[in-house]
Amino acid sequence: MCEGLTRAVHIRTERSTFARRNIRRMASKKPKLGDRIEHTTVFGVYEGEVVQLLSAQFAYQREDGHVRLCLFNEAWRKVKDE
C-alpha cells in the first residue's frame, strides 16, 4: 500500500516540476483575437485560434470545437500561418 502512495506522490511531483519549468514570467506580449497559438501543458500540446482575451488569460478554440483557457504566463507561442 505504501509503495502505491509513494509512486503517486512521485508522479505528481514530476508533473508539477514539469509545469514549473514551462511557466514563463508574465508575458509582455499578448495574443490578438484570431491569432493561432500552440499551448503546451503537462497533458499535451494543443493548437487553436484565440477567441477571447481576459485580464490574465485568454481562451482559444481547437479544431475539434473545444474551448480551452491559457494564462499569459503559461507556455504558449504564436504559430505562423502557412
Per-residue pLDDT, 26: 47
**In CATH, 2-78 is 2.30.30.140:** yes
pLDDT digits (tens, 9 = 90+) for 18-45: 555 655 554 558 999 999 999 999 999 9
- Output the pTM of the full model: 0.66
> Does 73 or 15 have the greater pLDDT score?
73
**Cβ atoms of residues 62 and 48 within 8 Å:** yes
pLDDT digits (tens, 9 = 90+) for 54-82: 999 999 999 999 999 999 999 999 998 76
Per-residue pLDDT, 10: 58
> Does 49 or 25 have the greater pLDDT score?
49
